[in-house]
Amino acid sequence: MKKKKSLLLILTLFCAFSLTAQQLPKREFRGAWIQAVNGQFQGLKREAMQANLTRQLNALKACGVNTIIFQVRVEGDALYNSPYEPWSRYLTGRQGVAPSPYWDPLAWMVEQCHLRGMELHAWINPFRAKTKGTSALAANHPAKLNPDRCFPYDGLLIFDPGKAENRHYICQVAADIVRRYDIDGFHIDDYFYPYPNGTPIPDDATFAAYGNGYRDRGDWRRYNVNLFVSELHDTIRAIKPWVKFGISPFGIYHNATTSTLPGSATKGLQNYDDLYADVLYWVNQGWVDYIVPQLYWEIGHKAADYATLIKWWSKYASKRPLVIGQDVERTVRAADLEQPTINQQPAKFALQRSLPGVVGSCLWYSAVVVDNVGNYATALRTTYHKYPALSPDYSFIYKKAPKKPKRLKALWMPDGYYLFWSTSSTNDEMNKATRYVIYRFKKGQERDLDNPANIVAITSDPLYRLPYDGGLHKYVYVVTALNRIQNESKPAKKSVKL
């Protein structure tokens, strides 16, 4: 059995060689979702949960993930210290009960991700007020305080998107998170109107009261969601314009067979028609900073073929950075259509990196990657994420780059040989240096800053310990500064002997 697994791994890596023979991208969104809704943290004490998360972050960092999307609001609750909503039962085991000993998972995760040079994007579910498994709401839960603002559906409670006070309230919750935590991004998932189960959505009274002249219920529901997405985008921009706003919608926008709208050759649930989420409109209006359609199916899936869908999203939704949501388990369990002895990871990466507008992927879900199911993480570490990557280009948010590092020096310290530098002060928060990229070149080597193979570190510290080995070899180190959205400065350089 071990020999068979080893052979499959070799075949997978061999098939991926054509990708790595080419230069890997220097900028790429390499994300992973860490969810709470599956109960993986429920009832864990602080030390146990921190140990769990530390293990995940270390493993994800090792295989090149640069962005963590961490779920902090599952059902009108909080995995952080919220002034508006109760502590989540997905954290403490009982809604409304604070963790003991006390800690704030979101604050801790921001700190831990930044220590590892990773971005932290806070993820909320906007309109779900109660999951099916929740039997009791805390006294201060918003649905308990204002039951008239929610409707029941399929065992859930939903904040009615047709009511302006709900849209404003969710934006208030988001504003609080953005204002108080040093997050890099704010992320919402695909729950707007509920996934249909064949019964009507009970919003007749809301439509009658707030119909805004619409005759078609579907158009009115899409209008409500559009208002929310626009307001949430503007809320985030007004507080911290460097915080990137991302949405991960369901993987099918619209089936081509049902109308003249842009649609894919698929036969499945639809964002536009069934969830009332007009994702293309948001992209074209510039209301999102990145979009992550959940393309969780296999290449060759009869109803929703991955290859068909990624090409469709590339064609229609690339006015903003397009990130592909990947289901790791399905990918490694599905055989490659042309080489059945290997899984579909190589083919999916080949598609992802060949299509315009696609700037990376986000992995569903973190624990599967950490457990190296199907050797997916091994392939990331040795092949697809072999070198570090900066964030995608978000210059549409802010175009300036920070000033380059100055006073770059190599100095001996009691514990080793170090590079030190400083940066220019600025009152422009958008353009403060928050990270640094360190490149290394051998004597005579072309100083190619576009090739990530030359990156030795991305750090938030203005220093770097050099790997001194007798002082027999000459190198040139180049250091650049990154601002809040990772625009890169001009280089500073220093020759050293190591």
CA nearest to 492, candidates 483, 481, 484: 481
152 has which bridge partners?
157
Shared-domain flag, residues 170 and 50: yes
Q: How confident is the model at residue 441 (pLDDT cuts 50, 70, 90)?
A: very high
pLDDT at 13 over 80: no
Q: What's residue 260's pLDDT? A: 81
What are the φ/ψ torsions at residue 436 (nearest 5 degrees)?
A: -135, 145
β-bridge partners, 461: none
CA 188 to chain centre: 10
Contact between 450 and 26 under an 8 Å Cβ cutoff? The reply is yes
Query: Which is nearest to 287 in space by CA: 363, 367, 233?
Result: 233
Token pair 């193979």 is found at 453
d(CA 342, CA 333): 9
* 428 lies in the same domain as 377: no
Q: Do the domain assignments include residue 6?
A: no
Burial 190-205 (b: 16+ CB within 10 A, else e): bbbbbeeeeeebebee
In this structure, what CATH number is given to the domain that contains residue 261? 3.20.20.80
Report the amino acid identity of residue 215: R
Residues 419, 342: one domain? no
Q: What are phi and psi of 8, to 5 degrees?
A: -65, -40
Q: Which H or E run includes 218?
A: helix 217-239
Q: Do 267 and 251 meet the contact criterion of CB atoms below 8 Å apart? A: no
Q: What's the mean pLDDT in 129-145? A: 96
Q: What is the pLDDT of residue 15?
A: 45
The string of pLDDT tens digits covering residues 370-387 is 999 999 999 999 999 999
The stretch 205-225 carries a mean pLDDT of 97
Q: What is the pLDDT of residue 424?
A: 85
Is the distance from CB of 106 to CB of 50 less than 8 angstroms? no
Residues 436-440, mean pLDDT to the nearest whole number: 97
User: Is residue 368 domain-shared with residue 452, that is, in the same domain?
Assistant: no
246 and 360 in one domain?
yes
- What average pLDDT does this structure show over 456-470? 94
Residue 91, CA distances (Å) to 38, 77, 79, 370 in order: 11, 10, 6, 21
So what's the pLDDT on residue 203?
A: 98
Does residue 258 have a pLDDT over 50?
yes
The pLDDT confidence band at residue 148, using thresholds 50, 70 and 90, is very high
Q: Is residue 390, in this structure, part of any structural domain at all?
A: no
**Which pLDDT value is given to residue 425?**
87
DSSP code for 87: B
Average pLDDT estimate for 133-138: 95
What confidence tens digit (pLDDT) does each residue in 176-201 have? 999 999 999 999 998 899 999 999 99
Q: How far is the C-alpha of 472 from the C-alpha of 457, rounded, in Å? A: 22
* 218-235 average pLDDT score: 98
Same domain flag for 139 and 41: yes
State the residue range of the domain holding 487: 406-497
Is 397 part of a structural domain of the chain?
no
pLDDT value of residue 14: 46
Does residue 206 lie in a domain region?
A: yes
Q: Left if phi > 0, otherwise alpha if psi is -120 to 50, otherwise beta: which for 486?
A: left
Question: What number is the average pLDDT over the span 408-426?
Answer: 94
What would the mean pLDDT of 127-137 be, rounded to a whole number? 95
The CATH number assigned to the domain holding 421 equals 2.60.40.10
Q: Please state the domain count of the chain.
A: 2
Q: What is the mean pLDDT of the chain?
A: 94
289 shares its domain with 411: no
Considering the domain architecture, whether residues 266 and 355 belong to the same structural domain is answered as yes
Supply the pLDDT for residue 461: 93
Helix intervals (H) in 82-124: 89-92, 105-115
d(CA 195, CA 184): 29
Q: 302-322, pLDDT tens digit by residue?
A: 999 999 999 999 999 989 999
Higher-scoring residue by pLDDT: 166, 425: 166
pLDDT at 7: 43
* 370 and 421 co-located in one domain: no
> Which phi and psi angles does 356 have, rounded to 5°?
-65, 140
Among the candidates 350, 383, 416, a domain finishes at: 383
Pairing mode of beta strands 492-497, 474-482: antiparallel
Q: Are residues 315 and 453 in the same domain?
A: no
Q: 4 pLDDT exceeds 60?
A: no
Judge if 373 and 415 occupy the same domain.
Answer: no
Domain assignment present for residue 493? The answer is: yes
Whether residue 123 sits in one domain with residue 74: yes
Predicted pLDDT of residue 259: 78
Q: Return the pLDDT at 473.
A: 93
Three-state secondary structure call for residue 380: helix
